[in-house]
C-alpha cells in the first residue's frame, strides 16, 4: 500500500512539475503601454483571441474585436470591457469565410479609424467544407481571408510608426504540405473528410500562415511594418468545437492536464505584438515567446511566392 501511494505521489508530482514548467511556458515580459494605438484581433469572441484583447485593452489600446457572429461578438465586447476596465473596445463584424465581408470590414474600418498599429490574425477554424466563395473551409478562413484583410489594411499599417502583423499559426505547420495542383484545380488544401484528412488540411493551412509571413516580410522590407508567425501552444479552447462529441469527450482529460489555458496561450501572441527589439526578426516564427528555426518547407522562397500569387488571384487582388 505504501509503495502504491509513493508511486501515485510521484506521478502526481511529476504531472504538477510538467504542467508548471512545460505546459505553462514563458510569459510576455513587455510592459508596453498602448494609449493612442489601435489593434485589430480577429476571432476575438473566444479563446486566446478574447484573452489577447483583454490584455491589449488593459494596456490602453483601442481594440477592434473582429468576429463573425454578432451575438457572440457583442457578448465578448461586454466581457472585454468589464475585464479590462476600458471603453476603447469596439465590435466589428467580420466573416473571413466571405471575401465580400472582408472587403466590407476593411472599407468600414478605413473610413472610421485613422490608425492601425497592430493587426493580429488570430481566427482559425478546424472543420471540412467550403466557404461562401467556394474555397476549402480551412484554406479560405485560416489563410485567404487573413491574406486579403492584411493586404487591404496594409497602407494604414504603413502610415503608423513601427506597426506589426501577427499571424497565429501552429506547431502543426511542421506536418503541413502545399499541393499547388490541388489548390489550382479545387481551391482547397485537401478534399477528404476523414479525421486524418481534415487534420492534414488543418496542418496545411497552418503552413500557409508561416509561408505567408515569410513572403510578407520580404515585401515589407524598407518599411517600418514587421510581421511574425507563431505557435501559441496547445490550448484548452473551442478550436475543436466542430468535431464530433465523442472526440471532444475523449479530449477533455488530455486538455485539462496537458494544454494551456487561454492566459498562458496568448503569451506568444503578445510577445510578437509588443516585445521591443524583435524588429530584425520580421518574418520569423515564434513559440514559447522565443524565435524558432523552421523546416526548409516553411521558409521556401519559391513556395511562399507561389502561394502569394495564388492567394492574390483567389481573392481578386491580382
User: Which residue numbers are catalytic?
Assistant: 202
- The x, y and z cell numbers of residue 210, run together, are 508561416
Q: What is the DSSP string of 15-51?
A: HHHHIIIIIS----------TT-EEEEETTTSHHHHH
Is residue 210 within 8 Å of 229, Cβ to Cβ? yes
Query: 285 by DSSP, 3-state: which?
Result: strand
CB 314 within 8 A of CB 187: yes
DSSP SS3 for 191: coil
d(CA 112, CA 115): 9
Distances (CA, A) of 13 to 6, 18, 258: 10, 9, 14
DSSP strands (E only) in 2-97 = 38-42, 62-67, 89-93
Cβ proximity of 30 and 274 under 8 Å:
yes
Give 309's contacts (C-beta < 8 A, 6+ positions apart).
Answer: 318
Is 235 within 8 Å of 259 (Cβ atoms)?
A: yes
Q: Who contacts 154 (Cβ-Cβ below 8 Å, separation ≥6)?
A: 225
- State how beta strands 38-42 and 62-67 pair: parallel
Amino acid at each position: 500500500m505504501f509503495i502504491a501511494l509513493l508511486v501515485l505521489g510521484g506521478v502526481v508530482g511529476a504531472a504538477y512539475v510538467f504542467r508548471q514548467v512545460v505546459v505553462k511556458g514563458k510569459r510576455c515580459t513587455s510592459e508596453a503601454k498602448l494609449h493612442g494605438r489601435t489593434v485589430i484581433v480577429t476571432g476575438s469572441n473566444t479563446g486566446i483571441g478574447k484573452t489577447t484583447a483583454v490584455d491589449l485593452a488593459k494596456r490602453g489600446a483601442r481594440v477592434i474585436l473582429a468576429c463573425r457572429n454578432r451575438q457572440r461578438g457583442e457578448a465578448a465586447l461586454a466581457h472585454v470591457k468589464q475585464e479590462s476596465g476600458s471603453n476603447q473596445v469596439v465590435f466589428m463584424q467580420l466573416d473571413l469565410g466571405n471575401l465580400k465581408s472582408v472587403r466590407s470590414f476593411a472599407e468600414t474600418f478605413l473610413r472610421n479609424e485613422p490608425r492601425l498599429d497592430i493587426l493580429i490574425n488570430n481566427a482559425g477554424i478546424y472543420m471540412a467544407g467550403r466557404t461562401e466563395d467556394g474555397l476549402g473551409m480551412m484554406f479560405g478562413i485560416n489563410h485567404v481571408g487573413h491574406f486579403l484583410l492584411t493586404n487591404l489594411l496594409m497602407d494604414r499599417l504603413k502610415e503608423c510608426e513601427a506597426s506589426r502583423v501577427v499571424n497565429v499559426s501552429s506547431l502543426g505547420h511542421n506536418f503541413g504540405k502545399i499541393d499547388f495542383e490541388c489548390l489550382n484545380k479545387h481551391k482547397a488544401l485537401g478534399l477528404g473528410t476523414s479525421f486524418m484528412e481534415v487534420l492534414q488540411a488543418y496542418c496545411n493551412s497552418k503552413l500557409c500562415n508561416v509561408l505567408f509571413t515569410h513572403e510578407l516580410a520580404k515585401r515589407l522590407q524598407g518599411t517600418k511594418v514587421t510581421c511574425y508567425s507563431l505557435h501559441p501552444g496547445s490550448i484548452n479552447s473551442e478550436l475543436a468545437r466542430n468535431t464530433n462529441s465523442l472526440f471532444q469527450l475523449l479530449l477533455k482529460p488530455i486538455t485539462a492536464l496537458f494544454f494551456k489555458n487561454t492566459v498562458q496561450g496568448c503569451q506568444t501572441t503578445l510577445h510578437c505584438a509588443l516585445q521591443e527589439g524583435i524588429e530584425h526578426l520580421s518574418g520569423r516564427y515564434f513559440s514559447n515567446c522565443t524565435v524558432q528555426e523552421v523546416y526548409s518547407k516553411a521558409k521556401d522562397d519559391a513556395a511562399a511566392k507561389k502561394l502569394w500569387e495564388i492567394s492574390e488571384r483567389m481573392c481578386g487582388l491580382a
